[in-house]
Structure 1
Amino acid sequence: MVSERGLEVLRVIVQDYVASREPVGSKTIVDRYAFGVSAATIRNDMAQLEEEELIAAPHTSSGRIPTDKGYRVFVDQLSDLRPLSAAQKHAIETFLGSSVDLDDVLSRTVRLLSQLTSQVALLQYPTLSRTTIRHIEVVLLAPTRLLTVLITDGGRVEQRMVDLQREVDETLLDDLRSRLNSTLGGCPLAEAPTRLEHLGESFPPETAPLADAVARALMEQILAGRQDRFLMAGTGNLARTEKDFPGSIHPVLDAIEEQVVLLKLFSEMAHDGTGVAVSIGRENAQFGLAEASVLSSGYRSSSGELARLGVLGPTRMDYSNNMAAVRAVARYLSRLLGEG
C-alpha cells in the first residue's frame, strides 16, 4: 500500500520526467520540492513505489522513471484538471468560431487540438443514425451537368457532380428540386435511399432518366455520409517524440493508419469523472499501441449524435494539460454545433 507521501513522490517523478525526459533521483526531489524529509526517507518511498511496480530504473543509476502502471495511478489521482489559460481559451473560440460549415469546424478542431497538445489529434465524425435531411439543392453548371448539394440538420454538406445524357432547362430543374425537397425534406438519412429508389416513377418517361441520375448521385452521397469517418492531424509530432518509443515507432504509425482500429479503441474507452477517458501503454496492446497513450472525450452534434475526439502520443506526455485541452475542445465543439 502506497502512502500519501509516496503518491506525492510519484506525482513529482511523473512531472519531472515528462518535463525533462531524464530519470528522477531522490536528491533531485529533495532539492526541488519541500517534502520536509531527508533524501533517505524519499529513497525509502521510492523503493516502495518500485516494489509496487509504479516506477522503474531504466538502467543502473539512481534515477527512476514512471511505468505504465505508475502513469495510471498518477492519472487516476487527477481529480482536478489544470484549467486552460485565457490565451488558449481565446484561441479555441476564435479559431473554431470562424468556421463556415460542419466539415470546416471539424477540420479546424482536429488541427487546433494537435497544436494545443503537441500530440496526434483524432476526431470521429458524428454518427448519422438520427440525422435528417434539411434541404437539397440542384445547381445547373452546364446544359448537361448538375451539382447536387445535400444539407443535413447537423450542418453537414455533401456535394456531387452529375453528368446527363440530355440537356436540361431551369423549368425542369425547378420541378425536380421541388419534388426532391417534398420527398426528402425532414426525412431521416436511413430512410432516404428507399424513397429515392422510386423517385423516377413520378416523372414523365422523357424526364425519368434525369430524375434517376440525380437520385443515384444523392444515394451515393447519403451512403458515403453514413460511413464512419475519422480526421487526424499532427502526425509529425510523433517524429519529434520518437525517442519516447523504446521499441519502434513503426507499430504506432501502422496503427494510426488503420482507422477501424482507432474507432474500435475509442468505442471501448470509458470516460471517468473528469469527462475524459485515458488508455495507457500496455492497456492498448491489442490495438498495436502498447507504447502509446490515448485520451478521448465525447462531443455532440446539433442532432444529438455522440462522437469522440482525442489525442494519441507516447506514454511520456503531459496528461494534465492534454486532458484539460481535450475536455475543453470537446465542450466548446458541442456548444458550437448545438447553436448551429
Structure 2
Amino acid sequence: MAMIRIELENDRRRLPMYLAAAGVIAIVAALYGIDRQVGLLHVLNFDAVRQYTGSILQDSASTVAAEAGHGNAEAGDRSASVTQSADAPLSMTVAIESAPVSQGRSQPRVTRPAVAAATVVAQSPAESAASTPVTWWQTAQRMSRRLPRGTTVTRHVSHADGTFRLEGTSLSNQHDGLRQSVGMLHELGLQPTLTFWRAGTSASTPSFAIQGFAGSDAPRTPPQRASMHVDALVHLAQDHARTAGLLRLSTLRPTHETWSPGNTRVEQGLSAVGDRSQVAAFGMALASESQVRLTSFSTESIEGGLLRVTASIDVLLGKEPSR
C-alpha cells in the first residue's frame, strides 16, 4: 500500500513535466504545419534578413541621392529665374552658397542692392540750359596743350562764337614743330592759321599767333530781361570776381547793339588779376550764370606767375517773349 502511494506521488510530481513537454511538442508541430503553408521559418533565416536589410539601405541611399539632385535642380531653376530677371530695371546680385554637408543640398541666396529714392524735379527750358556745363571759354587753353614743348603761350583768347587765338614766343629752331602742331589742328577741322613776327630788335625771340575755329556750346542768344539797372551787369561780374579771390578789378565801357526791333543787347567787360585757380573759378562762375551770357574770356601772363583775366558778359533788354 505504501509502495503504491509512493508511485502515485512520483507520478503526480512528474505530471507538470509531462504536460510541459507535450505542450512544446504541440507548439513545434503547429509551427511545422504553418511553415509548410507560409514559410515562416524561412523568414527567420538570418541570411535573408541581412539581404533584406541591405536592399532597404540601398533603396534609402538612392532616395536621398534623388532628393539631393531634385534640390539642386530646383536651385538651378531659381538661379535661372533670377538671371532672367536681370533684364528688369532693378539690378539683382545672385550669390550661391553651399549649405552644410549634413543638409545634402545648396540653396540660392539673392541679395538686392539698396536703391536710393529717385527725385524728379521739373525744370523750365531756361533752367535746364543754364544747368548744362559750358566749356567753350576753355578752348584756347585746351589748344595750347597741343603745341610742342618749349613753346611759351602768353595769351589765350576764347570767344562764344567758337573762335580762339593763342599768342606767345617760340625759338626759330622750334618753328618746324609748331608748324606740325598747327597741321594737326588743321586735320581736326579747326581751320588754324599761323603767323610769325619779331617785335623790337632782331635778337628778340620771335612771336607767333595761332587763330582757329573749334565750335562752341554757348547759348545762341543772351538771356532776355524786360528791364535791368544800369550797373547790374557790373555788380554781378564784380561779385563773382571777388568770390573767386581776384584783385585789381576794373570795368570796361559797356556796348549797346540793336538786336531786333525793341530789343537791345548790352555787353559789359571786366578785368582782374589772380592765379590760375582763381581765374578758373571766375570763368566757371560766369559760364554757369543764368542771368547773363559769357561772350569772351581771355588770360594774359603777367609778373609773378599771375594772370590778367578779361571777360565779357551780355544780356538782352526789351520785350520778353510771350509765354
Give the alignment's TM-score, normalised by structure 2.
0.22
Larger radius of gyration: 2
Give the alignment's TM-score, normalised by structure 1.
0.21
Higher strand share: 2
Higher helix share: 1
